[in-house]
Amino acid sequence: MADTVNQATRKGFLVDTSRCIGCRSCQVACKQWNKLEADKTANKGTFENPRDLTPALYNRIKFIEKETDGAISWQFFNERCMHCGDAGCMKVCPSPGALSRTSDGIVVFNKDKCISCKYCVSACPFNIPRYGADDKVSKCHLCTDRINGGMTPACAKACPTETLKYGRRSELIAKATAAKKTLYGVDDLMGLGVVYALEGPPEQYGLPARPSIPLSIFLWKDVIKPLGILGFWSSIGAMLLHYVTIGPKKVDDDLDSREDGHE
Q: How far is the CB of 63 from ligand SF4 (least distance, A)?
A: 10
- 143 touches ligand SF4 (CB under 6 A): yes
The full length of the chain comes to 263
- Residue closer to ligand SF4, measured from CB, 165 or 173: 165
Residue from 11, 136, 141, 165 that binds ligand SF4 (CB under 6 A)? Answer: 141
Nearest to 59 by CA among 90, 98, 29: 29
Query: In the set 142, 176, 197, 198, which binds ligand SF4 (CB under 6 A)?
Result: 142
Stretch of 47-55, 122-130, 179-187, 246-254 lying at the interface with ligand SF4 (CB under 6 A): 122-130
Nearest to 3 by CA among 81, 95, 99, 82: 99
Q: Which of residues 62-101 bind ligand SF4 (CB under 6 A)?
A: 76, 78, 80-84, 87-89
Q: Which is nearer to ligand SF4, 173 or 194 (CB)?
A: 194
106 binds ligand SF4 (CB under 6 A): no
CB atoms within 10 A of CB 39: 17
Output 33 or 205, the one with its CB closest to ligand SF4.
33
Cβ at position 77, least distance to ligand SF4 in Å: 9
Task: Categorise residue 190: left if φ over 0, alpha if ψ from -120 to 50, beta otherwise.
Answer: left
Give the CA dihedral 177, 182, 188, 194, nearest 10 degrees: -80
CA proximity to 87, closest of 4, 205, 207, 197: 4
Residues 6+ apart with CB under 8 A from 102: 108, 144
The residues in 17-36 that bind ligand SF4, with binding defined as CB under 6 A, are 20-26, 29-30, 33-34
Within its chain, how far is the Cα of 83 from the centroid?
Answer: 6
Helix (H, G, I), strand (E, B) or coil at 91: helix
Whichever of 14 and 20 has its CB closer to ligand SF4, that residue is: 20
Query: What does the binding site for ligand SF4 look like in residue numbers (CB under 6 A)?
Result: 20-26, 29-30, 33-34, 58-59, 61, 76, 78, 80-84, 87-89, 107, 124, 126, 128-129, 139-143, 153-155, 158-159, 161, 163-164
